[in-house]
Amino acid sequence: MRFAPLPAGLPATVPFIGPEELERRRGVPFAARLGANESAFGPSPLAARAMREAVGQVWKYGDAPSHELTHALADHHRVAPGNILVGEGIDGLLGNLVRLMVAPGDAVVTSDGAYPTFNYHVAGFGGVLHKVPYRDDAEDPEALLERAHATGARLIYLANPDNPMGSWHEGPVIEAMLDRLPPDCLLVLDEAYAEFAPAAAVPRIAADDPRVIRMRTFSKAYGLAGARIGYAMGAPELIAGFARIRNHFGVNRIAQAGALAALADPGWLAHVVAEVAAARDRIAAIAAANGLTALPSATNFVALDTGRDGDHARALIAALAGEGVFARMPGTAPLDRCIRISAAPIHELDVLEDALPRAMDRAG
């Protein structure tokens, strides 16, 4: 089979191996699913009901412009509908953004150890990745800007709050980056975890600012990861550009109904945010009891510093899997000294508390 030259030169890999695949390899399900940063607290009951009611209409394609949801999001963020683009989760939006903005050979700057799916898209469309190290377990805006200027980058990717470390920058730090971007460079601001972050971490940026595109999702705080729905906010000219290349009917009708109802239920969102905060405290306590250090987090997960190295952390992840606990870890040193535990309901954290001492012993 002959592939086109660009994909033919890429490795046949995926950014993440899902828990279902790992369960198939193990032959038994996990007792605690603590690795994918989903919301085990579930979606809003209003969203679940709206999706059930939408099933009978699933013979119809989804509304291509997601008109109702787009307008609801515009009202929610106090922007114009032209500033909003609904897409198949942040992953899908990132892929379309790279396709829209990056020509083969163009430079793209990110952090070494940051969200690998973005890197996967850049490679897939022929961009050239340039990576800078984290600084103090956080993405380094200064280093990102310096590398972007040195390479003439088209895009800078920055997640705030960050995955996989849970760290964050204050809003003014992000705002200041915009004035220092190289010519013709766009800041890609991934705000997947913004609902969990302190208000001071959310920058004040005009929706029409052409120097930045902001990505949000219904996968995390809203509990709709399986529905694959998210959105971007940006200048109207940039948002309109996606119509040239996006999958116009890629967002399904059931997801549209669920997201619209979820957005209209702020009480459930507040409930989930509170549950996540309590779970982060519980994870930190479990970690401390086992000689691990919980790093500060503004997300729905906690990075636990093992105080060792990546080999030890990988052994610990494997040992946890052997105990029925699905967890993940950063893939790049020195971040890979940590393991990452998603916030979850009490019964799953009970499983972690019971399993972690045995896993620690097995990992040495």
Confidence at 172, pLDDT banded by 50, 70, 90: very high
Confidence at 287, pLDDT banded by 50, 70, 90: very high
Q: What is the pLDDT of residue 180?
A: 98
Q: 364 exposed, middle or buried (CB, 10 Å; 0-12, 13-18, 19+)?
A: exposed
CATH, domain range 46-265: 3.40.640.10
Q: What is the pLDDT of residue 17?
A: 87
Is the model's pLDDT at 14 over the cut of 80?
A: no
Is the model's pLDDT at 352 over the cut of 90?
A: yes
| d(C-alpha 32, C-alpha 347), whole Å | 8
| d(C-alpha 84, C-alpha 115), whole Å | 23
Over residues 21-36, the pLDDT tens digits come to 999 999 999 999 999 9
Over residues 228-265, the pLDDT tens digits come to 999 999 999 999 999 999 999 999 999 999 999 999 99
Confidence at 12, pLDDT banded by 50, 70, 90: confident
Confidence at 325, pLDDT banded by 50, 70, 90: very high
Residue type, 218: F
Tokens of 260: 């619209």
Dihedral Cα 28, 33, 38, 39, nearest 10 deg? 120
In the chain, list all ranges with CATH 3.90.1150.10: 5-42+267-363
Is the model's pLDDT at 170 over the cut of 80?
A: yes
Superfamily of chain region 5-42+267-363? Aspartate Aminotransferase, domain 1 (3.90.1150.10)
Over residues 107-130, the pLDDT tens digits come to 999 999 999 999 999 999 999 999
Q: What is the pLDDT of residue 16?
A: 81
Q: What is the pLDDT of residue 190?
A: 98
Report the DSSP beta bridge partners of residue 89: none
How many other CB atoms are there within 10 angstroms of residue 310's CB atom?
Answer: 18
Residues 58-87, mean pLDDT to the nearest whole number: 98
Q: What is the pTM of this model?
A: 0.96
Confidence at 15, pLDDT banded by 50, 70, 90: confident
